[in-house]
Chains A and B, each alone.
Chain A
């Protein structure tokens, strides 16, 4: 199975909230994670099903959303909204035949220093294994 996807470069879109560690510091993931494309939003709560589905439709192989930890959301409840929304999104993409692992919501990654690396690496590895998105 792995052989099948050799040389595959996944296109991964990362949405980052403007205030969280990633958005605010504009962490350069290009060097560490060359498959990343970062798009900032004002808050992780701005994501919704249609936005994520559009992203997959336009050809993304994976989508990761960064937001602020639990009680650190700039608007109090934005990240909670995002969490609720992400449940729905996961259900939706499953229905459409896209693997659930292609989408994750990541809050609170900075509390442990290396967590960002491991989460992102794990995600990218996962996508690489899955291969190109089934709908492109």
Chain B
């Protein structure tokens, strides 16, 4: 806007002559902000941060929940790709987006806001969801809200998948998981634990029971083999998932005195910190690349080191050593980094003759996992990848078998919670379209790749503000318990941190204007035809008459009545009808030449063919700014402007000169 900033600074922006400028104010996003595009589930980051600044914590959480039904969980364990793209990094450090999300979620937990009510069933179809991890839960949440009947089948005695079975409680307290799962179940989802689909009940039986579509979200729980001699031969060799699952089911016996963990992901770091808490004396992590390549969350690695985990970088196992059927140690070899491989990470290469031995009585491999496919019947026709994951369409998440969809770790291999959530959303969308007999490919847009973001930000002018560090439980208090390590921001901290957001792309998209306007004068529009839900955002249009409070405005008739007194104290009134600043078409005059469509700068005009097959132009009044260019080009005079008519201008002059 032309020097708007200067004007704003001088605070001259006030409506001059309120009763004469009903107007459309348009807020157009420049682009969806980088954080939002980076989020696989498209969470409206900028918007909830804006709401936190305003102290509207409940509204902030509502907004998060639209795209992410597990905010408290993600607020704690998410890998936050949003923070990696944050434009604030060009000034100092990224905004602590993840911790802010947690703040909003915890705020509700503390307040004990009402429980969800069951959603009314409007569709007769039932859907079976296999696996109650984040992917399954999200899909169930979306489908139940669309009115379907939804049942989740879970092999384990408790729901949550890796959230409950894998991630330790000091990172993700169980009551947080339970509350968020409860909120989804409360909507009317049926949860059946202790049932392994494929063994306890077959797909055929489920189909007979009336399930019309299936979402396979079984995660990836089977540990990969190290492929070294001695593997699995001795007691004291436990796969990390088995180890974590047993601890998380309540078995707090320490596995041994000296523990080696192999791997560099979250599961390796979690295993190490869990082992420390169980009372193991020495805990090593052996990782074959350097710290920079380690896939676990950086803060996790730092905390593990502070707590006393020793990490051997650039080392790989060669042989598991054992005596009398028990593990005694592991032979390792030093590595160096070679050329980058297909994944872009540098390939580790062994350095001959550098073997060394670490003594240990327990070895926990945590290198990677793949889906456990033993539940599939023999001769199943599913297309699989060479990593034993399901091959699906990248946008619809449909498998090769009609009616079967899959997502989460079952498709990606060990991945992240937020990816699983995103897959859940996409799959739910496809399942809905599948059951409605619509083309499932239509209407889904993959998030656009991150572009070079301009946003008109003046990065150089920004003053660096230190990122609020997340409060933590003191180390001494941590080590004997599974109490949560990361603590929550206070209200002041959260607001201060939220204020660091640069709000790239102007409008923060919080949509509060729409719900807040009692006169329903503000609206959103979707100008680009064809964009559908899935968290992708509309264009924002506010249609606000200048300062509605001050208008002598009669709502029923759309008239404004202005009164004034002349010198002789005679009262005069003048009635003005408020025309919106838009143009309109007289369809009887239009001959469909399309000139107007060509010249319209706001995509507000389009040609539509009537029942009789005649083309007539039509104006989308929400988009029209009434500039009148179309009026000028219209040869037949079919388009006219509603506003600034001769008569109206004259009325205005009159009233200007007489009102006081």
A: residues with CB less than 8 A from B are 11, 13, 18-21, 24-32, 36-43, 46, 51, 54-55, 58-60, 72, 74-75, 110, 113
Contact of B17 among A20, A38, A55 (CB under 8 A): A38
Of all chain A residues, the one with the shortest Cβ separation from B4 is A25
Question: Are B1 and A24 within 8 A (Cβ)?
Answer: yes
Task: Identify B650's interface contact among A19, A40, A42, A54, CB under 8 A.
Answer: A54
With most chain B CB atoms within 10 A of its CB, the pick from A11, A25, A36 is A25
The answer on a CB contact under 8 Å between A46 and B644 is yes
- Contact of B13 with A26 in the complex, beta carbons under 8 Å: yes
Distance between Cα atoms of A72 and B643 in the complex (Å):
22
Partner of B12, one of A28, A42, A54: A28
- Contact digits for B234-257, partner A, Cβ 8 Å, 1 yes 0 no: 000000000000000000000000
Determine the distance from Cα of A87 to Cα of B4 in the docked complex, in whole angstroms: 30
**A121→B629 CA distance, assembly (Å):** 34
B524 CB-CB contact with A under 8 Å: no
Q: Which of B1-44 contact A (CB under 8 A)?
A: 1-4, 6-7, 12-17, 20-21, 23
Neighbouring A residues of B546 by C-beta, 8 Å: 26
B656 within 8 A of A: yes
Q: Is the CB of A25 within 8 A of B13?
A: yes
CB pair B12 A32 closer than 8 Å:
yes
A13 B20 Cβ-Cβ under 8 A: no
The answer for the CA separation of A5 and B188 in the assembled complex, in Å, is 80
Give the distance to chain B from A40, nearest Cβ to Cβ, in Å.
6
In contact, A59 and B12 (Cβ under 8 angstroms): no
Which of B6, B14, B629 sits near A26, CB closer than 8 Å?
A: B14
Interchain CB contact under 8 A, A51 and B7: no
Q: Quick one: closest B residue to A30, CB to CB?
A: B16
Report the minimal beta-carbon distance from A112 to chain B, rounded to whole angstroms. 10
Q: A42-B644, A51-B649 are in contact. Are A37 and B17 (CB under 8 A)?
A: yes
A13 and B657 contact, Cβ closer than 8 Å, known pairs A37-B17, A42-B626, A42-B641: yes
**Residues on B with beta carbons closer than 8 Å to the beta carbon of A30:** 14, 16-17
Determine which of B14, B21, B657 lies in contact with A58 in the assembled complex, contact meaning CB atoms within 8 Å: B657
Given the complex of chains A and B, what is the CA–CA distance between A75 and B1 in angstroms? 17
Nearest 5 interchain pairs by C-beta:
A28-B14, A37-B656, A38-B16, A59-B657, A39-B652
Q: What is the 8 Å Cβ interface bit string for chain B, positions 644-659, against chain A (1 contact, 0 not)?
A: 1000011011101100
Distance between Cα atoms of A25 and B641 in the complex (Å) = 22
- The docked-state distance in angstroms from the alpha carbon of A54 to that of B657 is 12
Taking A38-B21, A39-B649 as given, write out 14 further A-B residue pairs in contact, using a Cβ cutoff of 8 Å, ordered by the A residue number: A13-B656, A25-B2, A26-B13, A26-B546, A28-B14, A28-B16, A37-B17, A38-B16, A39-B17, A39-B652, A40-B644, A55-B653, A60-B653, A74-B627
Between-chain CB contacts (< 8 Å), 13 pairs: A18-B626, A21-B3, A25-B4, A25-B13, A26-B13, A26-B14, A26-B21, A36-B16, A37-B657, A39-B653, A43-B628, A54-B653, A55-B653
A30 to B19, CA, bound (A): 14
Expressed in whole angstroms, the minimum distance between the Cβ of A117 and any Cβ of chain B is 10
Contact (Cβ within 8 A) B653 A21: no
Chain B 304-323, CB-CB to A under 8 Å as 1, else 0, gives 00000000000000000000
Cα–Cα distance between A28 and B11 once the two chains are bound (Å): 9
CB-CB under 8 A from A41, the residues of chain B are: 644, 649
A110 CA / B3 CA spacing, docked (Å): 7
Flag if A27 contacts B12 (CB, 8 Å): yes
How far is it, in angstroms, between the C-alpha of A31 and the C-alpha of B15 when the chains are bound? Answer: 11
Of A26, A29, A30, A58, most buried by chain B (CB within 10 Å of CB) is A26
CA distance A61 to B653 in the complex (A): 12
Contact yes or no, B15 A26, CB < 8 A: yes
Nearest CB on B from A129, distance (A): 21
Are B657 and A27 in contact (CB-based, < 8 A)?
no
Given the interface pairs A26-B15, A27-B7, A32-B12, the reply to whether A40 lies near B20 with Cβ below 8 Å is yes
CA distance A86 to B643 in the complex (A): 23
Give CA–CA (A29, B10) in the complex, Å.
12
- Chain B contacts for A32, CB-based, 8 A: 12
Residue A25 contacts which of B7, B626, B652 (CB distance < 8 angstroms)? Answer: B7
How far is it, in angstroms, between the C-alpha of A28 and the C-alpha of B518 when the chains are bound?
A: 26
CA distance A43 to B632 in the complex (A): 13
Complex Cα–Cα for A113 and B12 (A): 13
Bound-state CA distance A55–B656 (Å) is 10
When distances are taken between beta carbons in the complex, the residues of chain A under 8 Å from B13 are 25-28
Residues of B within 8 A of A19 (CB): 627
The answer to whether B657 and A42 touch across the interface, beta carbons within 8 angstroms, is no
- Closest B residue to A31 using CB positions: B14
**What's the nearest-Cβ distance from chain B to residue A51, in Å?**
7
User: Hey, which chain A residues are within 8 Å of B3, CB to CB?
Assistant: 21, 110, 113
In Å, the complex CA distance between A43 and B627 comes to: 9
**A28 CA / B21 CA spacing, docked (Å):** 12
The listed residue with most A CB atoms (<10 A of its CB), out of B641, B650, B652, is B652
Quote the shortest CB–CB distance from B453 to chain A (angstroms): 26
Q: Are A110 and B20 in contact (CB under 8 A)?
A: no
- When C-beta atoms are compared, the residue in chain A nearest to B654 turns out to be A58
| Residue in chain B with minimal CB distance to A38 | B16
Cα distance A11–B643 when bound, in Å? 24
Q: How far is the CB of B590 from chain A (nearest CB, A)?
A: 21
**A20 surroundings in chain B (CB, below 8 A):** 2
Nearest A residue to B11 by beta-carbon distance?
A28
For residue B124, give the distance in angstroms from its CB to the closest CB of chain A: 54
Min C-beta distance of A42 to chain B, whole Å:
5
Q: A37-B657, A41-B649 given as contacts; is B16 within 8 A of A21 (CB)?
A: no
Chain B CB count within 10 A is highest, among A30, A39, A59, A75, for A39
> Given A24-B2, A27-B7, are A42 and B627 also a contact pair (CB < 8 Å)?
yes
A27–B644 contact, CB under 8 A?
no
Partner of B1, one of A25, A39, A58: A25
Considering the chains assembled together, what is the distance between the CA atoms of A13 and B13 in angstroms?
A: 19
Residue of chain A at shortest CB distance from B626: A42
Residues on B with beta carbons closer than 8 Å to the beta carbon of A72? 2
B16 contact from A11, A26, A74, A110, Cβ within 8 A:
A26
